[in-house]
Amino acid sequence: MFFKLLKEALKVKHVRSKILFTIFIILVFRIGTSITVPGVNAKSLEALSGLSFLNMLSLVSG
């Protein structure tokens, strides 16, 4: 049933373009998360990931 609905949705041009755009954006995001940023210490980033939300907010806001 899902595949039939998807097949029918892909026949409509504007729905197809929106679905493909969404898939493209998700792929770009997933690729972007795997690229490391130069100058960022990975060990410091790992230490920050253990902080609670309020501690992280305090760190960012000063």
Given a cut of 70, whether residue 23 has pLDDT beyond it is: yes
Q: Tell me the C-alpha distance between 55 and 3, whole Å.
A: 45
- Worst-scoring range by mean pLDDT, 15-24, 30-39, 42-51? 42-51
Q: Comparing 13 with 45, which gets the higher pLDDT?
A: 13
Q: DSSP 3-state assignment of 62?
A: coil
Indicate the pLDDT class of residue 56, thresholds 50, 70 and 90: low
CB 10, CB 16: distance < 8 Å: yes
Half-sphere exposure of 36 (CA within 13 A, CB side): 7
pLDDT at position 2 is 86
Q: Among candidates 59, 37, 39, 38, which has minimal Cα distance to 48? A: 59
